[in-house]
A and B are shown apart, each in its own frame.
Chain A
Amino acid sequence: MEKNMKKYFPVFVLPTFVAFTVVFLIPFVLGIYLSFTEFTTVESATWVGLENYIKAFTQDENFKNALWFTIKFTFVSVITINVISFFLALLLTKALKGTNFFRTVFFMPNLIGGIVLGYIWNLLINSILGVFGFDITYDADFGFWGLVFLLNWQLIGYMMVIYIAGLQNIPKELNEAAMIDGASPFSVLKNITVPMVMPAVTICLFLTLTNSFKLFDQNLALTGGAPARETSMLALDIYNTFYGRIGWQGVGQAKAVVFFLIVAIIAFVQLKITGRKEVEQ
């Protein structure tokens, strides 16, 4: 058996390996290379060193705006999504009537694609703002909170399901022991429930952090970056640089590399920190 496994190992690994190389590894390495060149097509690339990176940070206000906007957006939505979904999960793990129904309802927005969601909420928000004579592109703040609201609406259900699974994993006796130990409901939450769901917190923080930071379709559909690119997030800014400004493809590529590094660092640091807080039973 083991001998056969060894013998056929390459046969089984090859398809995935080839696919991974062709669609991920090669473009990724090529992308990093292109960020140091000026190019319109892959064949026409000429080496320019760090010029694209310098350009991105010095000659492009939009990039810095987008970076700051994305950080603000990620900060707010990570907190709201996780807090709300955790408390919904708490509520829906209590023995109440209709919990299954509500779990399904809260999960449903997650089944709709980002672009569609963006357009639907664009219509909804504009119809409300329309009453006061505005629309979502009137002020960057409208766009910001619109995006926060949209992503909350989309992700809360999903995170809630993960938190529910975490909460259901806590042995019932622990809560009972804490009750007998005289812990108040808040103390139980702080000293028992939260430490016990840390594995779920790790996953949810990771998912919300990366999803918020990488947000693209919803951004494109809801505000398109308007007004004046003020609500444009990093991914949208990269897209606009790459496809919108002739001769700036290399800069777009450099931004994408920076973007990747930021996401990777955030995710890595977060996993390290929360992972340490997890408990083995």
Chain B
Amino acid sequence: MASIELKNIRKTYEDGVTVIDNMNLEIKDKEFIILVGPSGCGKSTTLRMIAGLEEISGGELYIGDKLVNNVSPKDRDIAMVFQSYALYPHMSVYKNMAFGLKNRKVPKEEIDKKVKAAANMLDIEEYLHRKPRALSGGQRQRVALGRAMVREPAVFLLDEPLSNLDAKLRTEMRSRISMLHKELETTFVYVTHDQTEAMTMGDRIVVMKDGVIQQFDTPQMLYNHPKNMFVAGFIGSPQMNFIECLIQKKSENYYADFTYYSIKIPNKMNDYLKMYENKNVILGIRPEDLSIADKNDKENVMELYVDIAEMTGADYYLYGKINNEKFIANVSSNQNIESDKKYKLKIDVDRIHIFDKINERLICD
């Protein structure tokens, strides 16, 4: 159990490329933190710096209260689960799990107890004497988790542990890892590029891009109040629609105008929009904040020519184009919808987001 603190952390490689600059992050004890972002955003590098596998070029890293910049990985009281699992192929499952304890000179009986307890928790008891090659991906994954567990580390580091599994197994392992976190009551730092994993598992999520933290918040806050267009687009699936529009004031109310439509903006946003009158902004609408309009709906309605209507079961995904940009609506499937037809969509204006066109930051939502 330990908190983790990154203070002005910088990573510069030998060739002079800086991948992470001035990163600050405070992870509380027992928290489940997700580092998420597109590939190359520096999330894995950050995790590897916490693990001690990557040298820190500048700044300070604390695990607990201890400055660990120059502490070797084995003395950081951490355990790591790798994307490739990194199981020792020549050792049995039992030996794989016992290796870390053996290195720490733990008595044999205690090793045996701990390995068996972890195996029991992960349902891998029957494979203890098999070699990793005789196991399926999901089983290997559990062995890798078990190897980390037996050490009872203060911090669990997981580097895209589910990306080699098929979709069904991934969903299953997701809840298993969440359960594990609850039972072990330790700090988890988890790297993924999959926003669904991030949203479903994390207490708080660090959204990263180009080595910079875009937003560090709870899943609810990230979804409802993204700080910029990147976070807004990255979190949520299908992703948020962005429409360029003109802010205009008509009799005390602000309107966002695009193509033939004029969307009335709720009054709560008025204060933020004064500066943007007669200027272009980006309007963000989540696909799920659209619905098929009633005949009576007159306000905040737009028309979409549906190129493709995808039935997913509970919902329809409607794909079309607005302003020559891709536009997606996610509506309930309790009505029949066909491709190549026009539909009237009602926008839930209380849930719209407005972004600055130039710096892409949120103006109001």
Contacts and interface: CB of A to CB of B under 8 A. Distances in A.
Interface of A: 171, 173-174, 176-184, 187, 191-192, 195-196, 279-281
Interface in B64-87: 72-74, 78-80, 82, 84, 86
A174 B86 contact: yes
B103 interface: yes
Contacts, number: 62
- Interface majority SS (helix, strand, loop, mixed), chain A: helix
B99 interface: yes
Given A196-B90, A280-B133, A180 B84 contact: no
Interface string B37-60: 000000000000001110000000
B80 A180 contact: yes
B88 A182 contact: no
B84 A182 contact: no
B298 interface: no
B189 to A, nearest CB: 14
A196 B86 CA distance: 13
A180 B52 CA distance: 9
Given A180-B74, A182-B100, A191-B99, A173 B84 contact: yes
Sorting the interface of chain B by its residue count into under 10, 10 to 19, 20 to 34 or 35 or more gives 20 to 34
B86 A171 contact: yes
Nearest to B99: A181
A176 B51 CA distance: 10
A212 B151 CA distance: 48
A178 B89 CA distance: 12
27 contacts: A173-B84, A174-B86, A176-B51, A176-B73, A176-B80, A176-B86, A179-B73, A179-B74, A180-B51, A180-B79, A180-B80, A181-B99, A181-B100, A181-B103, A181-B151, A182-B74, A182-B100, A182-B103, A183-B103, A187-B103, A191-B91, A196-B89, A196-B90, A279-B131, A280-B89, A280-B133, A281-B133
B88 A184 contact: no
Nearest to B76: A180
B104 interface: yes
Contact of B104 (A177, A182, A195, A281): A182
A266 to B, nearest CB: 25
A177 B133 contact: no
Contact of B89 (A179, A184, A281): A281
Contacts of B78: 180
Contact of A178 (B72, B84, B99): B99
